[in-house]
Amino acid sequence: MAMWRHELRLLLRSRMASIALVLLAVLSAAAVAAGMTEMARQRAAIDAISTAQAGDVAAIARYVDREKDAGSAAYYTFHPTWDAPAPLAFAAIGMRDVAPYLLRVRTLGLEAQIYDGDTFNPELALPGRFDFAFVLVFLAPLLVIALFHDLKSGEREAGRARMLGALPGAGRLWLRRGLLRFALLLAALAVPFMIGALLSGGETWAMLLVVAVAGAYLLFWIGLAGLVSRLGHGSTANAATLAGLWLVLVLVVPTLANVVIDRAIPVDEGARIALAQRENVHHAWEIPREDTMRRFYARHPEWADSPPLPEGFHYKWYFAFHQNGDDSVADRVKAYRERLERRANAADALGWLLPSVGVQALLTRLAHTDLAAQLAYQDRIRAFHRRLRDFYYDYIFRDRPFGKADFAKAPGY
């Protein structure tokens, strides 16, 4: 223990080492605090929606109760859906920064409602928000370089390398110094994260896995620094070489790989699906109503025994052509999703070659902020929308009156 304390005192005497450790701890704490603040804001927005929803429904119910029209109830009522953040979402905000986590839907065509917000630029979103994952993947390697680029070359330049090499247990000396620096770097990262995770209610196994991933990522950069040191160059050359490797492995290659993946697996914007759905919906105003209903009943025979359309406007025709609009883009939605998943799988495969990509992907998966989590939220929205349709269609296509008391019977998310 005396040797460890001595090495710690030597390390902390170095202004560069002290600044690097304090800076990493401050950055990690700031990232955790920023992530927790963002998740608190998102939770507050989700909590507030129920109060606003109650007021909206009460106002619509008073209006609908005059004529007992189920179509008006279905048309005017918005129903909130939300994707509550997981306990570790603060550490890797991921797609929660660019994709909706709160969406109010109506019983009208769903695809346009889902993809209206799909207008973000993936390339601009690539670096991500300032969170723990950003500090770990992008900034921590620079501080590893600051502490390890001159671990041996600094002693050689100071003229102490031969003397240290002649001491008994010289190999243990370098191992002890390396382990001490590694432990302090990991502590600077892990302590703020663990505090945030405990306050957020994270599961123990997930927290420990994140710390293990952080440790493995630091060890990768420490190993890289060791390989560069074996070339025998001076400290300045080591630092420049490692900085160049950081630039290539963390920024240049992942960005180029992302461009290659995007071009190899082209994906239309979701907004184009929304546009196509709307065009099909609007086209229904220009064709005979019977054609619309025939097409709707062919896809949804459970409503085919509905009474014929009256002469004037009827909401069942209106909702039928909205559903036809969704059905018309079903294949495009499926293809869009499959291509997004292929892109994600390609990025995951790249993570086996590029630690920076792999660590970021693993953290977003543990935080439930990756593409799979966003697609799962969309699946929950679609399942909820089907329940809404079945509920309202039972009134609309059966010509049943819909009063104020019926609003309470509507499915909840």
Looking up tokens 């986590």, which residue turns up?
101
What percentage of the chain reaches a pLDDT higher than 90?
70
Predicted confidence band at 1 (pLDDT cuts at 50, 70, 90)? low
**Can you tell me the mean pLDDT for 85-113?**
93
pLDDT value at residue 121: 46
- pLDDT, mean over the chain: 89
In angstroms, the CA 36 to CA 88 distance is: 9
Predicted confidence band at 12 (pLDDT cuts at 50, 70, 90)? confident
Side-chain half-sphere CA neighbours of 382 within 13 A? 15
83 vs 120 pLDDT, higher one? 83
* The Cα angle at residue 327 between residues 287 and 341, in degrees rounded to 5: 145
In angstroms, the CA 281 to CA 274 distance is: 11
Phi/psi of residue 108, nearest 5 degrees = -70, -175
Q: Taking a C-beta distance cutoff of 8 angstroms, is the pair 99, 368 a contact?
A: no
Looking up tokens 């709707």, which residue turns up?
296
Q: Where are the alpha helices (DSSP H) in 105-167?
A: 110-115, 122-125, 132-134, 140-148, 153-157, 161-166
Tens of pLDDT along 357-399? 999 999 999 999 999 999 999 999 999 999 999 999 999 999 9
Tens of pLDDT along 139-197? 999 999 999 987 765 555 554 555 555 555 555 766 888 888 999 999 999 999 999 99
CA distances from 145 to 130, 136, 245, 331 (A): 21, 13, 10, 50
Which residues does 341 contact at the CB level (< 8 Å), separation at least 6?
371, 375
In the beta sheet, which residues pair with residue 82?
102
pLDDT value at residue 160: 57
Predicted confidence band at 29 (pLDDT cuts at 50, 70, 90)? very high
Structure tokens at 30: 């700031």
pLDDT value at residue 162: 54
Query: What is the biggest distance separating any 2 CA atoms in the chain, rounded to whole angstroms?
Result: 102
In angstroms, the CA 349 to CA 124 distance is: 22
* The Cα angle at residue 412 between residues 408 and 413, in degrees rounded to 5: 165
Total residue length of the chain: 413
Amino acid at 212: A
Tens of pLDDT along 279-335? 989 998 999 999 999 999 999 999 999 998 888 899 999 999 999 999 999 999 999
Element (H, E) at 81: strand 79-82
In angstroms, the CA 218 to CA 244 distance is: 17
In the beta sheet, which residues pair with residue 105?
79
CA distances from 205 to 168, 201, 202 (A): 41, 12, 9
pLDDT value at residue 377: 96
**Can you tell me the mean pLDDT for 264-282?**
87
Is the pLDDT at 97 greater than 60? The verdict is yes
Tens of pLDDT along 192-214? 999 999 999 999 999 999 999 99
Tens of pLDDT along 114-147? 987 554 444 444 555 799 999 999 999 999 999 9
In angstroms, the CA 87 to CA 240 distance is: 39
pLDDT value at residue 98: 85
Closest Cα partner for 106 from 89, 130, 81?
81
Is the pLDDT at 40 greater than 70? The verdict is yes
| Burial of 361 from C-beta contacts in 10 A (0-12 / 13-18 / 19+) | buried
**Can you tell me the mean pLDDT for 213-219?**
97
Helix (H, G, I), strand (E, B) or coil at 68: coil
The helix, strand and coil proportions of the chain, stated in percent and rounded to the nearest 5, come to 75, 0, 25
pLDDT value at residue 153: 59
Closest Cα partner for 381 from 102, 49, 116, 120?
102
